Amino acid sequence: MIDPATAFDPRRELAPIMAGLRDQRQRWRTANERHAELGSHGFPSRQSLARILGALSAVLFPLRLGPPELSPANEDAFVEATLESALSQLAAQVRLELLYDRRRASAGLADADAVEADVQTIIRRFAQSLPVLRTLLDTDVHAAYRGDPAARSVDEVLLCYPCITAVIHHRLAHQLYRLGVPLVARIISEIAHSRTGIDIHPGARIGASFFIDHGTGVVIGETAIIGERVRLYQQVTLGARSFLPDEEGSIVKGEPRHPIIGDDVVIYAGATILGRVTIGRGAVIGGNVWLTQAVPAGAHVRQAHPNLTIVERERTAQPPIERVGSL
């Protein structure tokens, strides 16, 4: 039996906790000059964008990622209705970001007419880009099928491969990033990250026929540029080597700081490439390589063979046999 005298009583005990949380929120808003934003959270919704992404994925690949009752006879009607709804919902999220940015930039004020005109322009251009994005994604799906001997069909790749989920999200997010809504784009990329373990910043520029085999742990930074027909394996990092500070010691944002990967490059599992270095066309980067310098076209980079110790244990009570060699 729980003693009523020691049991948690929400009616009595939550009041000081709520007051403490309220005070801390107010202190943070005062310190960060967020007074004008009170009354509206002003942020795009991760939950809403996840639903929009599901709808847009179904629009791009209706017979594979759409509802099971679809057929070629009714897919156009589905695409039209779904796209109309998804774009309307996306416009609401874009509007939130633009209002948030402009209120911050102008002490809580924003020209609603100007914001609305920009929202409509962004949504129109985004919608017009979808056929091109579908063309790019077709090259990615075929690259995965051709690059993986375990893939039995392009349908299996589309339905099962985490890299395709990540790349669909990235192609959509990158377009929105270019159109001027980086927060919406970043939320989309983080939805893909949480679903697949593949972390691609929406600012990264990626060419056609891109394939990430397995994919878990891949990181691609904001200013990375990746050419066509590039293949990565799991745990590859295309990151920054260092960050330039400004006069006050704060990190300078937006500077090119990630690798440039040429066409037809293969980067094997666990490789880390840091800084604004160029990997030339057709180069092969071996597993677990740590690289901070440029690589010429066609070169192969690999780690030196480590000295390994293999200890074999006999079934008898004899001491273990130790062999030292290089593998």
**Domain match, 185 and 161 both:** yes
User: Pick from 144, 167, 197: which residue ends a domain?
Assistant: 197
Q: Is there a contact between 188 and 172 (Cβ–Cβ < 8 Å)?
A: yes
What is the average pLDDT score of the chain?
90
Residue 287 is which amino acid?
Answer: G
CATH of the domain at 277: 2.160.10.10
Q: Is there a contact between 134 and 60 (Cβ–Cβ < 8 Å)?
A: yes
Residue 94 is which amino acid?
Answer: V
The confidence band for 195, taking pLDDT boundaries of 50, 70 and 90, is: very high
**Domain match, 129 and 160 both:** yes
**Domain match, 149 and 298 both:** no
Residue 326 has what pLDDT? Answer: 41
**Domain match, 120 and 166 both:** yes
Is residue 284 a part of any domain in this protein? yes
User: Pick from 164, 197, 230: which residue ends a domain?
Assistant: 197
DSSP one-letter string for 103-145: HHHTTT---HHHHHHHHHHHHHHHHHHHHHHHHHHHHHHHHHH
Q: What is the dihedral of CA 159, 162, 168, 171, to 10 degrees?
A: -160
Return d(Cα 120, Cα 126) in angstroms, integer.
10
Question: 3-state class of 212 per DSSP?
Answer: strand
Kindly state the helix (H) or strand (E) to which residue 322 belongs, with its residue range. Answer: strand 321-326
- In eight-state DSSP terms, residue 295 is B
Question: 3-state class of 42 per DSSP?
Answer: coil
Domain that holds residue 242: 204-327
Higher pLDDT, 32 or 239: 239
Residue 160 has what pLDDT? Answer: 95
Instruction: Pick the closest to residue 232 from 212, 262, 248 (CA basis).
Output: 212
Return d(Cα 5, Cα 2) in angstroms, integer.
9
Q: What is the mean pLDDT of residues 206-232?
A: 97
Kindly report, residue by residue over 257-272, the tens digit of the pLDDT.
999 999 999 999 999 9
Is residue 31 a part of any domain in this protein? no
To the nearest 10 degrees (0 to 180), the angle between helices 46-60 and 112-147 is 50
The confidence band for 100, taking pLDDT boundaries of 50, 70 and 90, is: confident
Counted residue by residue, the chain has a size of 327
Higher pLDDT, 315 or 81: 81
Count of domains forming the chain: 2
Number of C-beta neighbours around residue 123 at 10 A: 18
Is the pLDDT at 298 greater than 80, yes or no?
yes
Tell the burial category of 193 from Cβ atoms under 10 Å away from its Cβ (0-12, 13-18, 19+): middle
Is residue 249 a part of any domain in this protein? yes
Is residue 324 a part of any domain in this protein? yes
**Domain match, 166 and 232 both:** no
Residue 226 has what pLDDT? Answer: 98
**Domain match, 153 and 215 both:** no
Is residue 76 a part of any domain in this protein? yes
Is the pLDDT at 325 greater than 50, yes or no?
no
**Domain match, 71 and 154 both:** yes
Residue 96 has what pLDDT? Answer: 94
- In angstroms, what CA-CA distances link 312 with 139, 202, 306? 48, 49, 19
Is the pLDDT at 327 greater than 50, yes or no?
no
CATH of the domain at 115: 1.10.3130.10
Is residue 21 a part of any domain in this protein? no
The confidence band for 318, taking pLDDT boundaries of 50, 70 and 90, is: low
Residue 213 has what pLDDT? Answer: 96
To the nearest 10 degrees (0 to 180), the angle between helices 182-196 and 46-60 is 80
Higher pLDDT, 193 or 17: 193
**Domain match, 165 and 270 both:** no
Kindly report, residue by residue over 141-170, the tens digit of the pLDDT.
999 999 999 999 999 999 999 999 999 999
Is residue 166 a part of any domain in this protein? yes
The confidence band for 132, taking pLDDT boundaries of 50, 70 and 90, is: very high
**Domain match, 150 and 226 both:** no
**Domain match, 185 and 209 both:** no
Instruction: Pick the closest to residue 271 from 316, 220, 233, 225 (CA basis).
Output: 233
Kindly state the helix (H) or strand (E) to which residue 193 belongs, with its residue range. Answer: helix 182-196
The confidence band for 41, taking pLDDT boundaries of 50, 70 and 90, is: low
Kindly report, residue by residue over 53-73, the tens digit of the pLDDT.
999 999 999 999 999 999 999
**Domain match, 152 and 77 both:** yes
Structure tokens of 317?
A: 């009570």
DSSP one-letter string for 214-258: S-TT-EE-TT-EE-TT-EE-TT-EEE-S---B-TTSPBPSS---S
Residue 317 has what pLDDT? Answer: 57
Residue 216 has what pLDDT? Answer: 95
Is the pLDDT at 43 greater than 70, yes or no?
yes
**What's the number of CA atoms in the CB half-sphere (13 Å) around residue 32?**
10
pTM of the full structure: 0.85
Is residue 321 a part of any domain in this protein? yes
Return d(Cα 301, Cα 286) in angstroms, integer.
6
**Domain match, 255 and 307 both:** yes
The confidence band for 29, taking pLDDT boundaries of 50, 70 and 90, is: confident
Q: What is the mean pLDDT of residues 113-118?
A: 94
The confidence band for 251, taking pLDDT boundaries of 50, 70 and 90, is: confident
Kindly report, residue by residue over 167-190, the tens digit of the pLDDT.
999 999 999 999 999 999 999 999
Residue 38 has what pLDDT? Answer: 41
The confidence band for 215, taking pLDDT boundaries of 50, 70 and 90, is: very high
Instruction: Pick the closest to residue 85 from 117, 55, 108 (CA basis).
Output: 55
Residue 33 has what pLDDT? Answer: 67
User: Pick from 197, 220, 235: which residue ends a domain?
Assistant: 197
